């Protein structure tokens, strides 16, 4: 018996996991922190290296801030958040943002890892654009397990393609098993042609960025850098920040784990401050408004529209705002920080006014909270706004500056009604039933660390390379040419 116990103990060991986030927004950090906390709660050693290290990481996790990438990234976010924002200002700083690999490798902690040849069982990256920076460090340190976390399906087609996963397609073949979509979302040939051209353009752009802007900052520190395509082929698992019920239902096969449903946590009133809890508990219902982790600035005329609409509402208003807002109606209070996942689950919540960021969208869906989406900057926020409107989960206002007090008031009152609320609650039930559990997540990571490579999950080659689309018109042209030639060669009938 002691021998058997010793044998069992020898096979169960703590993993040493290195999280690397060169720079990413709140949505990445939310999922990254969840995965890191699950690992730490189960006795594994976690080192979380990041710009803007999340505050909600477990105390036992080793936290390292990348000060230079944080400084550069936050400066870029300030430009986006500036009331005088212009595309020109943003473009002038994009090149600086694309060259974050240099500051990353010059960070003292990263230098220490390379100097000591630190040993880890796996690296988990956060942020698809900078995965090549992080994975080149994994290549240098010879870290065996490579796991990446993606913001959304097919956001970065070059990486998706390198994993052998489908680009803008609705089925995948893995070990002889075909994982396929619902028939309602099968893609027409015309849509596949459009997606093929879109993917080709994005992949070409990304290849130029990787080769000429990112790679030159990697080679001085990792001379043996094999290129980003070769690095991504070493990835064994993708933790995707999506859920088939939330996004379009693309099954990527067993090598891709959907984690958006993990944001469906339980309601815990102790997460709320005493002031906030008293404010919402004493109301007949409240509206929560937040424009994300980084976007705090609103133009004066936008504030006036919101304040005017709030003053007419029969609800209390919880406004997440970094700065004080003067002349607020008595039913409105601002808070610099709130436990959003908990607040959205409060039984008295009537509506959520949001910018439509990915994490906010999923957290609201997990809570069954009706949404009024007012997109601010990122292109996906506008897509999310339309998706939410079409699915009957809320409404949208594309431009707050072009709106008015009555429109904001009427849309909030409408989405707080029974129809949209029932639809939101129905999706919430489905998300709770189908979310990835902690045990499943740990099982996938265990397989990856053990050497089982769940990727790639290739489609049939003719679909993966769009040959069934490309060759059809080619064969048609040659067939028509052949037939015309045969007809012309026929003797004229007398």
SS3 247: coil
pLDDT reported for residue 183: 44
150 confidence band (pLDDT: 50, 70, 90): confident
What contacts 24+ positions apart, CB below 8 Å, involve 428-434? Answer: 428/264, 428/365, 428/366, 428/367, 428/368, 430/245, 431/243, 431/245, 431/246, 431/261, 431/264, 431/365, 431/366, 432/261, 432/264, 432/366, 434/243, 434/244, 434/245, 434/261
Question: What is the H or E stretch that residue 62 is in?
Answer: strand 62-65
Kindly give, in sequence order, each residue whose CB lies less than 8 Å from that of residue 344, ignoring residues fewer than 6 positions away.
288, 352, 363, 364, 366, 367, 369
Kindly state whether residue 177 falls inside one of the protein's structural domains. yes
**Cα separation, 142 vs 244, whole angstroms:** 34
The DSSP symbol for 493 reads P
Do residues 160 and 284 both lie within one domain? no
For 61, other C-beta atoms within 10 Å of its C-beta total 20
Token digits of residue 116: 């000591």
Range of the domain at 152: 14-264+437-457
The DSSP symbol for 163 reads T
In CATH, what number is assigned to the domain containing residue 407?
3.40.50.2000
Kindly state whether residue 9 falls inside one of the protein's structural domains. no
Q: What share of the chain is helix, strand, coil (3-state, %, to 5)?
A: 50, 15, 35
Kindly state whether residue 481 falls inside one of the protein's structural domains. no
Do residues 427 and 444 both lie within one domain? no
Length of the chain: 494
Do residues 36 and 168 both lie within one domain? yes
Kindly state whether residue 210 falls inside one of the protein's structural domains. yes
pLDDT reported for residue 27: 67
Token digits of residue 217: 């900052």
Closest by Cα among 337, 481, 365, 343 to 434: 365
Kindly give, in sequence order, each residue whose CB lies less than 8 Å from that of residue 263, ignoring residues fewer than 6 positions away.
30, 31, 34, 341, 359, 362, 363, 366
pLDDT reported for residue 184: 43
Token digits of residue 131: 């995965």
Kindly state whether residue 492 falls inside one of the protein's structural domains. no
pLDDT reported for residue 3: 43
CB 248 within 8 A of CB 153: yes
User: Is the alpha carbon torsion for 269, 266, 295, 245 positive or negative?
Assistant: negative
Token digits of residue 37: 């906390």
Do residues 258 and 276 both lie within one domain? no
238 strand-pairing partners: 148, 256
Kindly state whether residue 493 falls inside one of the protein's structural domains. no
Question: What is the H or E stretch that residue 149 is in?
Answer: strand 145-150
Rounded mean pLDDT of 72-101?
A: 71
- The DSSP string of 450-492 is TT------PPPHHHHTTHHHHHHHHHHHHHHHHHHHHHHHSPP
Do residues 210 and 273 both lie within one domain? no
148 strand-pairing partners: 125, 238
Do residues 273 and 244 both lie within one domain? no
Mean pLDDT of the chain: 83
pLDDT reported for residue 441: 94
Token digits of residue 405: 């007090």
Rounded mean pLDDT of 209-234?
A: 92
pLDDT tens string 8-38 = 443 457 999 999 999 876 667 877 888 999 9
Do residues 259 and 285 both lie within one domain? no
pLDDT tens string 31-62 = 788 899 999 999 999 999 998 888 889 999 99
485 strand-pairing partners: none
Do residues 363 and 445 both lie within one domain? no
Do residues 229 and 377 both lie within one domain? no
From 434, 468, 485, the end of a domain falls on 434
Do residues 377 and 413 both lie within one domain? yes
Do residues 223 and 363 both lie within one domain? no
pLDDT reported for residue 182: 44
Token digits of residue 306: 């919101």
CB 291 within 8 A of CB 354: yes
pLDDT reported for residue 246: 77
pLDDT tens string 293-329 = 655 567 889 999 999 999 999 999 999 988 888 889 9
Kindly state whether residue 91 falls inside one of the protein's structural domains. yes
SS3 327: coil
Token digits of residue 400: 């707050």
Q: How many domains does the chain have?
A: 2
The residue that leads in pLDDT, 60 or 202, is 60
Kindly state whether residue 442 falls inside one of the protein's structural domains. yes
Do residues 202 and 332 both lie within one domain? no
pLDDT reported for residue 60: 97
Q: Is the pLDDT of residue 173 over 80?
A: no
């Amino acid at each position: 018996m002691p021998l058997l116990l010793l044998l069992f103990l020898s096979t169960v060991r703590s993993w040493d996991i290195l999280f690397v986030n060169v720079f990413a927004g709140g949505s990445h950090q939310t999922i990254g922190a969840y995965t890191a906390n699950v690992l730490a709660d189960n006795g594994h050693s976690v080192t979380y290296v990041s710009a803007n290290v999340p505050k909600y990481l477990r105390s036992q996790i080793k936290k390292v801030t990348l000060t230079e990438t944080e400084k550069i990234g936050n400066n870029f976010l300030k430009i986006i958040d500036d009331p005088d924002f212009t595309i020109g200002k943003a473009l002038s700083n994009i090149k600086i943002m694309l060259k974050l690999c240099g500051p990353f490798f010059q960070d003292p902690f990263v230098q220490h890892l390379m100097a000591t040849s630190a040993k880890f069982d796996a690296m988990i990256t956060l942020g698809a654009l900078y995965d090549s920076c992080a994975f080149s460090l994994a290549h240098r340190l010879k870290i065996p397990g490579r796991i990446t976390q993606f913001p959304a399906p097919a956001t970065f087609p070059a990486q998706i393609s390198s994993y052998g996963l489908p680009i803008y397609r609705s089925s995948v073949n893995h070990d002889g098993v075909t994982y396929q979509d619902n028939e309602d979302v099968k893609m027409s040939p015309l849509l596949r042609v459009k997606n093929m051209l879109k993917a080709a353009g994005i992949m070409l752009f990304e290849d130029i960025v990787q080769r000429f802007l990112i790679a030159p900052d990697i080679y001085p520190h990792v001379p043996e850098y094999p290129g980003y395509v070769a690095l991504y082929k070493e990835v064994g698992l993708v933790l995707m920040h999506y859920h088939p019920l939330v996004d379009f239902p693309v099954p990527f096969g067993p090598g891709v784990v959907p984690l958006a449903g993990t944001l469906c946590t339980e309601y815990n009133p102790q997460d709320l401050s005493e002031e906030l809890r008293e404010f919402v508990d004493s109301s007949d219902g409240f509206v929560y408004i937040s424009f994300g982790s980084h976007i705090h600035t609103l133009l004066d005329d936008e504030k006036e529209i919101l304040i005017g609409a709030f003053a007419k509402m029969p609800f209390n208003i919880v406004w997440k705002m970094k700065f004080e807002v003067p002349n607020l109606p008595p039913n409105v209070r601002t808070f610099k920080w709130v436990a959003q996942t908990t607040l959205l689950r409060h039984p008295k919540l009537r509506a959520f006014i949001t910018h439509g960021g990915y994490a906010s969208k999923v957290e609201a869906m997990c809570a069954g909270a009706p949404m009024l989406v007012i997109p601010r900057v990122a292109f996906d926020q506008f897509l999310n706004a339309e998706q939410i409107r079409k699915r009957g989960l809320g409404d949208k206002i594309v431009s707050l500056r072009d709106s008015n007090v009555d429109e904001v008031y009427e849309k909030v009152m409408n989405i707080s009604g029974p129809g949209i609320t029932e639809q939101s609650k129905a999706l919430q039930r489905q998300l709770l039933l189908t979310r990835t559990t902690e045990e499943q997540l740990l099982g996938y990571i265990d397989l990856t660390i053990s050497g089982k490579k769940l990727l790639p999950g290739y489609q049939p080659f003719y679909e993966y390379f769009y040959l069934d689309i490309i060759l059809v018109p080619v064969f048609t042209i040659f067939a028509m040419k052949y037939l015309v030639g045969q007809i012309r060669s026929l003797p004229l009938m007398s």
